[in-house]
Amino acid sequence: MPKLGVNIDHIATVRQARRTTEPDPVWAAALAELGGADAITVHLREDRRHIQDRDVRILRETVRVKLNLEMSIADEIVDFALDVLPDQCTLVPEKREEVTTEGGLDVVGQLDRVRRCVDRLQEAGIETSLFIDPDEKQIEASDSLNVHAVELHTGQYADATDAETQTRELDLLFEAGEEVRRRNMLLLMGHGLTYRNVEPIVEIPEVYELNIGHSIVSRAVLVGFERAVREMKALLNPSITFLSEE
Ligand code: PXP
């Protein structure tokens, strides 16, 4: 069974909508650990749209499972990672205008830049993972950099709107996963996974860990919404007793 890395970026998205202090991703990380998360993932984007430097620094002190920092290969961010020392860094492509990470990192096309970044992180003892498309050339290039792991981008699979495309994308992930394991890198996967589409991914042999964020945060908001309203209603009118409490 794969381990579960929980991405808590969108807890910070809600906080940043008001530039206030709640909800605090540090609290969310603790609750995720209580729920069984094997890793906590945060993406410190160059534009700091959700996770802030402060979050990563505090999480470094509080997270008891693996802390995985998703990041671009920009020097400023690499310097930050070397200062904070997360357990793992996942290198992703980053464009300012994108809503979320759109494709895998082009390791083939910028091999020297990625190598410099990987070397700096690995020399500091940080395990490094590359977020790539399920593509043989990208896997081969990643292997040439001696990275600890690769995370295969499941976005194309998740976005498939018909069964045929979904099966094709799943087959690609199976094949790419086999290649990653043949090369003795740890096999991680993520992006766009939900409560409805995750099960076939779990069947992929030797997939070590899945990184899931948006779907868990979305469900948390709705699963907790009714209780949150009840609690506010009770504050407004303490004499109200709800059926569930009788
Ligand atoms: N893995 C990587 C590399 C990502 O960039 C993201 C999104 O930040 C995820 C996993 C999680 O994706 P989602 O939020 O769609 O579950």
State the CATH number of the domain containing residue 161.
Answer: 3.20.20.70
Domain that holds residue 159: 3-236
Q: Is residue 242 part of a domain?
A: no
Residue among 43, 151, 169, 209 flagged as catalytic: 43
Q: Is residue 181 part of a domain?
A: yes
Choose among 193, 195, 189: nearest CA to 208: 189
| Interatomic CA distance for residues 154 and 173, integer angstroms | 8
Task: Specify the residue for token string 């794969």.
Answer: 2
Task: Sort strands 149-153 and 186-190 into parallel, antiparallel or unpaired.
Answer: parallel
Q: Is residue 243 part of a domain?
A: no
Q: Is residue 244 part of a domain?
A: no
Per the annotation, the verdict on 70 as an active-site residue is yes
Please provide the DSSP assignment of 217-234 as one string.
HHHHHHHHHHHHHHHHHH
Sites in the chain below the pLDDT cut of 70: 96, 241-246
Note the pLDDT of residue 242.
Answer: 63
| Interatomic CA distance for residues 191 and 132, integer angstroms | 11
- Whether 42 and 86 have beta carbons less than 8 Å apart is answered as no
pTM higher than the cut 0.85: yes
Q: Is residue 245 part of a domain?
A: no
| Interatomic CA distance for residues 215 and 17, integer angstroms | 19
Per the annotation, the verdict on 136 as an active-site residue is no
Reported as a single tens digit per residue, the pLDDT across 70-107 is: 999 999 999 999 999 999 999 999 876 777 777 999 99
Q: Is residue 224 part of a domain?
A: yes
Nearest protein CA to atom 12 of ligand 1, as residue: 191
